Structure 1
Amino acid sequence: MELMDANLCQVIHMELDHERMSYLLYQMLCGIKHLHSAGIIHRDLKPSNIVVKSDCTLKILTLAWPVQHSSWAWATKRMVIDIWSVGCIMGELVKGCVIFQGTDRILPQDLDPVIEQLGTPSAEFMKKLQPTVRNYVENRPKYPGIKFEELFPDWIFPSESERDKIKTSQARDLLSKMLVIDPDKRISVDEALRHPYITVWYDPTEAEAPPPQIYDAQLEEREQPQLKKLIYKEVMDWEERSKNGVVKDQPSDAAVSSNATPSQSSSINDISSMSTEQTLASDTDSSLDASTGPLEGCR
């Protein structure tokens, strides 16, 4: 995998215009569509699992759950959990903070900020919940929900022109369709890709590309014994060479500057000497300028 510049946690604290935000979301949706077409539900989409480059290209990390064909009908309905995650990420990109603060563990209490903002679920949806969760929700105060115009007011979106105001309305509409508690009423990946806020980037060669090849874990299991033997042999050979003062493949004395000490020359390729400066480190960084990379000409 190519080296990326940062994860989305850093981008969240930047002031993104609509072009960059919608392009990042488009790539997330394309990635999810490809995973689902390969029979994989991610289930752990979050800013730290998404990496970006300075030209706004994006990659999704950590695949979570391959689906067995026998459970495909069941899993298909639950694929929209990834859409919920994209909605939460989009909300963070807009607000610059987590919109539904939860815990590291999955607890009924994690539903509190969701219900308080989006409203108490319908009785129809409550029937789908596990008894313990249903009892918890039913014993909570009833909330009517907050309008999305109040949750995501105009002033938190970029608004420099009439076109931006139209984009703001589209962005809020997409959020309202992704952040739906009932998964049966939530927008699908294909529908989201065709949404006015996203479809400007739609490219059939990307969105309709063949699904990725599913990784064969059994192949690794078959190769592990052989790899262990090779690693063990390499370690033993290295210890033997070090013990005898003979280390193969070392550069000759002529290849090392006469001004460098042994410790200096041995650390030339050390990872600690690499630059860790990231191109998305601050809001004032120009590396994500809309005139570069795939966003060229958007403004």
Structure 2
Amino acid sequence: MPSTNRFHTFTVVDYRTGNKYTYTVPKRYTNLKFISGGSQGTVVSADDVVEKRKVAIKKMHQPFYNTMSAKRAHREFVLLSSIKHPNIIETFSVFTPQETKENFTDVYLVMEFMQMNLHQAIETFRLDHKTLSFFIYQILCAVNHLHREGIIHRDLKPSNIVVDAKCNLKVLDFGLARLISSAGDRMTTYVVTRYYRAPEVVLGLQYSEKADVWSIGCIFAEIINQQVLFPGKNSVNQWFEIIKTLGTPSEEFMAQLPESIQKQVRGLPVEAGHSIEELLPDRNFLAHSECERAHLTASDARRLSSKMLTYDPNERYSVKQALQDPYVRMWFKDEETNAPLSNTRYNWDAAEAESSLTKLNTLIFDEIKQFESNHDVFGGL
């Protein structure tokens, strides 16, 4: 049981669905209000009366339901609490109201508050070229930092990116992150949100950090068109959506595929696809915001997009190359693209090894208690 003099409990309601969630948090946090909920957790806003600021608090859903969810919870809170970059969400605190391993069930993350996620922004606003290029630049900066840390995000999508009223953008949710050096493993079908999966992921091939670049290209097109670019109905249909949109891949790409996959891909009808001008038509840009001198034009945006949405990852832009593209180059700052690397303290070998749920529970509990001992979780209250 939590210490009653240091924690208090709230019932938070999602008024759209009627669902209720219980939050037990340190007394420094008050005025909890529902923001969003998903399969991995629920997020509320709260007032931090000690720091005099609004924060977001994420409560992970059933982090110990099975070994996979426990690994994801551990990866999420350790990476979020230790990776530092202006375009990666800042985590202020990590805590659990439980005091012993025997009754440990809840993991909470306290993060900086942002007004909305990118999915909501896409539904609400049409962006001018300057804002659009600034958003893509910031996503690239965040992902570049992760790649420099040796990490692939693997779940980039609009709902995992948040923005504030000043157009500052932050990437979050590292539950599916992996080391680049271990990325040769095949992706399983339940990771990486379907719409944003790179061709090599969809086809079950080995992949690299270039898979993140494809996801950014999908997000880029979605911001422009205000709709998903490849809305696959299921994992199999996702490939059909890609080739229907971009056309059947070249013979050079086909020849690189393993025989079994090559046979499967060649067995599909040949698709002509659409040109980049058709995929990202002029009418979906705000023409009055174009500036040729700054390379902020529809043509420039289409060039960058096409370089990210390339079938062959060897020909696809890297994040570093994308950061040098004229469409985003105006924002380039060395301190953002080459920020100091973080001491992530995440032991990939130990955490990703086969472990029992009991061992993972202990690992997570000890990590949280270590964080609590090194940080002022309660703010003196």
- Give the 3-state SS of the residue equivalent to 1:78 in structure 2: coil
Partner of 2:221: 91
Which of 244, 251, 268 does residue 116 from structure 1 map onto? 244
Partner of 1:193: 323
Partner of 2:178: 66
| Separation (CA, whole Å) in 2 of partners of 1:138 and 1:226 | 49
Q: Is the 8 A contact 1:20 1:56 kept in 2?
A: yes
Q: Is the 8 A contact 1:34 1:212 kept in 2?
A: no
| Separation (CA, whole Å) in 1 of partners of 2:220 and 2:161 | 13
5+ residue gaps, structure 1: 229-248, 250-299
Q: How does 1:1-299 map to 2 (within 5 A)?
A: 1-13=111-123, 14-63=125-174, 64-67=176-179, 69=181, 78-103=208-233, 106-107=235-236, 109-160=237-288, 163=291, 167-216=297-346, 221-222=362-363, 224=365
Q: Is the 8 A contact 1:83 1:178 kept in 2?
A: yes
Normalized against structure 1, the TM-score is what? Answer: 0.68
**Cα deviation code 1:30-70 (max 9, x no counterpart):** 00000011111011100111111111111111222332757
| Separation (CA, whole Å) in 2 of partners of 1:174 and 1:82 | 15
5+ residue gaps, structure 2: 1-110, 187-204, 352-359, 370-380
When you count strand as a share of all residues, which structure comes out higher?
Answer: 2
Residue 16 of structure 1 aligns to which amino acid in structure 2? L
Normalized against structure 2, the TM-score is what? Answer: 0.54
- Give the 3-state SS of the residue equivalent to 1:88 in structure 2: helix
State the number of aligned residues: 226
Residue 265 of structure 2 aligns to which amino acid in structure 1? V
C-alpha change, 1:69 and 1:118, in structure 2 (3 Å) is closer
| Separation (CA, whole Å) in 2 of partners of 1:83 and 1:149 | 20
% identity of equivalent residues: 40
Which structure: larger Rg?
Answer: 1
When you count helix as a share of all residues, which structure comes out higher?
Answer: 1
C-alpha change, 1:20 and 1:136, in structure 2 (3 Å) is same
Q: Could you tell me how far 1:7 is from its partner in structure 2? A: 0.6
Superposed structure 1 runs of 4+ greater than 4 Å apart: 68-72, 74-77, 217-223, 225-228
| Separation (CA, whole Å) in 2 of partners of 1:129 and 1:187 | 20
Residue 106 of structure 1 aligns to which amino acid in structure 2? S
| Separation (CA, whole Å) in 1 of partners of 2:368 and 2:132 | 44
Q: Could you tell me how far 1:187 is from its partner in structure 2? A: 0.9
| Separation (CA, whole Å) in 1 of partners of 2:148 and 2:121 | 28
Q: Could you tell me how far 1:156 is from its partner in structure 2? A: 1.0
